Structure 1
Amino acid sequence: MLTVLGHSIFDKELAFTGSTSTGKIVLELAAKSNLKPVTLELGGKSPFIVCEDADVDEAVELAHFALFFNQGQCCCAGSRTFVHEHVYDEFLEKAKARAMSRVVGDPFKKGVEQGPQIDSEQFEKILGYIRSGVKSGATLESGGEQFGSKGYYIQPTVFSNVQDDMLIAKDEIFGPVQSILKFKDLDEVIRRANATRYGLAAGVFTKNIDTANTLTRALKAGTIWINCFDIFDAAIPFGGYKMSGQGREKGIYSLSNYLQVKAVVTSLKNPAWL
């Protein structure tokens, strides 16, 4: 017998990018119809880990970008900023100052860094999370209110003393709210960073290659950025673990979403085949 494996292209493939709640509905509807294959790129609560040896000024700027990019409306936003206890105080003061200097306004005007949220529903949702953070005992360092009197603008917001069980540390806020958490060592931050239903991305800021290697291997996320964030390329696969989705976009791995394995088995007993 001779067995050959080949690939054929799926007749239908559904690729969805959006919230985890909507992704569940898409997957359910696909299952109830014709079992069409589905790939999902969903939400996240990505950790951004600032290690003890980090250049604080650079780490502050990168963490700021990782969270506030696109008004915080980014699925892989570094929305849990874990900072080592030895640099925590310095980082916090500089992160607060950076947020307070962020220019909010008409995104079509030169020099503006942050525009409005996408709509009134998201605007109110974000403000609700901010109120939840204050109520749960986190320290509001900056922002926390509407910016101006018109439009869906929210002040760049920074929380300190955030604990893992707070909603602002667990839920995807999808807005300009930075939660800063303190950690003592790598074992602790690995455990806490992984203690989430999401697993889309993570950021690691360190000068030590051993530390970087340890964290990148231990963190349960589809993309790990070392001393950078939100760097994409057509050849780099992107997608999540756990509730952040399934399948991959970009790169050679994305092709498997659109292919199906076929096994062909042929008898070699007939001389005409030889």
Structure 2
Amino acid sequence: MNFDRDHTIFIDGAWQAGQGAEKLEVLDPSTGSSIARMATASGEQVGRAAEAAARAFADWSRLPGQIRADYLRGFARGLERRAEALAVLQMANSGKPRLEASIDLGDAIATFDYYADLLEQLQQSPNSETSLGEGSHKGRVRQEPIGPAGLIVPWNFPLVTSAWKIAPALAAGCTVVLKPSEATPLVELCYADLADEIGLPPGVLNIVTGATPVGKAMTDALPLRKISFTGSNAAGAQVMASAARRGIPVALELGGKSAIIVTEDADLDLAVECVITGIFYNAGQVCSATSRLLVHEAIESRLLEALMERVRSMAVASPLEDRCDMGPITTPAQFRKVENYFAVARSEDCDCLTGGHRLDGPGQFVAPTIYRHVDVGSRIWLEEIFGPVLATRRFRSDAEAIALANASDYGLAGSIVAADPERAGRLADEMVAGHVWVNTPQIVYPQSAWGGFKSSGIGRELGPWGLASYQGVKHITSAP
């Protein structure tokens, strides 16, 4: 398959050829072969994209909410019409199994529909009265769009994370410049195709492709008034430092090293399902992956045996094979990183129950991996690997489980599997994490909040919190 496109930059409602010095070679991680080559945006093109967003902002922000909602539904219906093509594209560029590619598409559609619904529910004056206590003045508050926003998205869920940013930004009345990951830029170009198809006003959505220089140009672009970034902590720190020089707000969704706690009374089959999907979905390339398993000592041996049985039955293959339970690692750099952690585990004498190695043959495939009784000081326990690597420890008491779960620099997500609802709820309350699942595999609804504590980032996406993140609060104090 070849997905070459001559024009991969979308500015002010028109496609352009990239003028950057870099060229992107997009790979199929199942084979390592090239499936597309594309030019990148120049710094000058990034600047023009930001200027286009700034010009379009005034008119877009003044549009009635219902009109913006109609445009959002246009994106949702357009994604539905392209469902098969987008699934194939994600399978080829990301290595996602077909089911996971389809779930991504459904999540993106649901996000656009949710923010359209939310706009329709909020059809009211942007003004609200506020009490000023014993003072004689009158107070009024307005929620206003923050301005043109720069959106930088990662390679693990390109279609989804873009929707999580584009939909609330446009709903709030902001205009945007989107930078897809240089590793997976293909699928997000569909958003520009859809903007053209539904007649979105020029400049409301702009897309610039490229690597770090393009992201740097975005954070430096003077017309942009906010940067929303999803990715690694190292890159997020650079984004934050750049934005800090201009004092503009940032939203950062960063890394995780999430824990799943399984109590002694848990349903074993449910626990296996939650653990397996929590670490092997998308080959473990999930910021919320529950990569640390804390299991009560009374059921440890039974749970690990059941997990091993499931892992032995998993088909690790190209998404184009008849059966694919887990695909390849998406990028060459991440493939090398996971391999390096296998070497770290060997140097630390970690007890490897299964996996711990790359798979023979072409492509970026690694074995689903489980390490048992991992020391709390091990890099395997402490660091985000971003691959299908599970580290386990047993516990004796709930207090011990919570202490182990919370002993992390991260606080993005977590899971609890326990039969007693009150106990499960108490454990969820005590876990320091932005999103906790109780007795269910990971699922994220557009109505929920997404984001973390500690080093897992700043701010929240999705739900009304996602909309509010693209709005500023204006307070007006008037004479009586």
Provide the residue aligned with 2:410 in structure 1.
198
Letter in 1 for 2:453: Y
Alpha-carbon distance in 1 for matches of 2:273, 2:474: 50
- Deviation, 1:170, is 0.6
Match in the other structure for 2:238: 25
Instruction: Find 1:186's aligned residue among 398, 416, 420.
Output: 398
Q: Distance in 2 between matches of 1:173 and 1:267?
A: 58
2:215 is the alignment partner of 1:79:
no
Cα deviations across residues 209-264 of structure 1 (Å, max 9, x unaligned)? 12111111111100000011321111111111111111111101112211212221
SS at match of 1:236: coil
Alignment partner for residue 304 of structure 2, among 76, 86, 92? Answer: 92
SS at match of 1:31: helix
**Cα distance in 2 for residues equivalent to 1:44 and 1:110:** 33
Q: Secondary structure at the match of 1:82?
A: strand
Q: Give 3-state SS (helix, strand or coil) of 1:99's partner.
A: helix
- Looking at secondary structure, tell me which structure has more helix per residue: 2
Partner SS for 2:473: strand
Specify which of 136, 139, 146 is matched with residue 3 of structure 1: 139
**Is residue 129 from structure 1 mapped to residue 341 from structure 2 by the alignment?**
yes
Q: Which runs of 5+ in 1 are unaligned?
A: 269-274
TM-score where L is the length of structure 2: 0.54
Of residues 306, 309, 319, the one that matches 1:107 is: 319
For 1:176, the equivalent position in structure 2 comes to: 388
Aligned residues: 267
Once residues 270 and 446 of structure 2 are traced to their aligned partners in structure 1, the CA distance between those partners, rounded to angstroms, is: 27
Specify the alignment match of 1:14 in structure 2.
Answer: 227
Task: State the partner residue of 1:120.
Answer: 332
Letter in 1 for 2:418: T
**In structure 2, distance between residues paired with 1:125 and 1:108:** 25
- Preserved contact between residue 99 and residue 158 of structure 1 (Cα < 8 Å): no
What SS does the corresponding residue of 2:476 show, helix, strand or coil? strand
- Residue 250 of structure 1 aligns with which residue? 462
RMSD value, Cα: 1.2
Instruction: For 1:205-216, list aligned pairs within 5 A.
Output: 205-216=417-428
- The one-letter amino acid of 1:227's match is N
Q: What is the CA-CA distance between 1:42 and the residue it aligns to?
A: 1.0
Query: Structure 1 CA distance, aligned partners of 2:340 and 2:308?
Result: 21
Q: CA deviation at 1:166?
A: 0.7
Instruction: Supply the distance in 1 between the matched residues of 2:403 and 2:314 (Cα, whole angstroms).
Output: 32
Does the 8 Å CA contact 1:45/1:76 hold for their aligned counterparts? yes
* Counterpart in the other structure of 1:272: none
Cα pair 2:317 2:323 within 8 Å, conserved: no
Letter in structure 2 aligned against 1:163 = D
CA contact 2:270–2:439 (8 Å) conserved in 1:
no
**Structure 2 residue 298 is matched with structure 1 residue 162:** no
Deviations 1:115-159 (A, max 9, x none): 111122211211211221232232111111111222111011111
CA distance in 1, matches of 2:266, 2:423: 11
Structure 2 CA distance, aligned partners of 1:229 and 1:241? Answer: 21
Q: Which has the higher contact order (CA 8 A, sep 6+)?
A: 1
User: What displacement does 1:7 show?
Assistant: 2.3
Within 2, Cα distance between the matches of 1:8 and 1:226? 36
Using the alignment, how far apart are the partners of 1:183 and 1:114 within structure 2? 29
Q: Which string of whole-angstrom CA distances, capped at 9 and with x for unpartnered residues, describes residues 167-224 of structure 1?
A: 1111110011111111111101111101111111000001101211111111110000
> Does structure 1 retain, via aligned residues, the 8 Å contact 2:259–2:415?
yes
Q: Is the 8 A contact 2:228 2:251 kept in 1?
A: yes
Extract structure 1 runs of 4+ deviating beyond 4 A.
none
- Tell me what 2:33 maps to: none
Matching residue of 1:239: 451
Report SS of the residue matched to 2:139: strand
Percent identity over the alignment is 35
1:210-229 equivalences under 5 Å are 210-229=422-441
Conserved in 2, the CA contact under 8 Å of 1:100 and 1:143? no
Separation of aligned partners in 1, 2:270 and 2:256: 24
- Structure 2 residue aligned with 1:143, among 351, 355, 368? 355
For 1:260, the equivalent position in structure 2 comes to: 472
CA distance in 1, matches of 2:383, 2:314: 24
Shift of 1:48: 0.8
Post-superposition Cα deviations, 1:6-42, rounded to whole Å, max 9, x if no partner, equal: 222212322111111111111111111x222111111
Distance between the aligned counterparts of 2:303 and 2:261, measured in 1? 12
State the 1:67 CA deviation: 0.2
2:261 alignment partner, SS class: strand
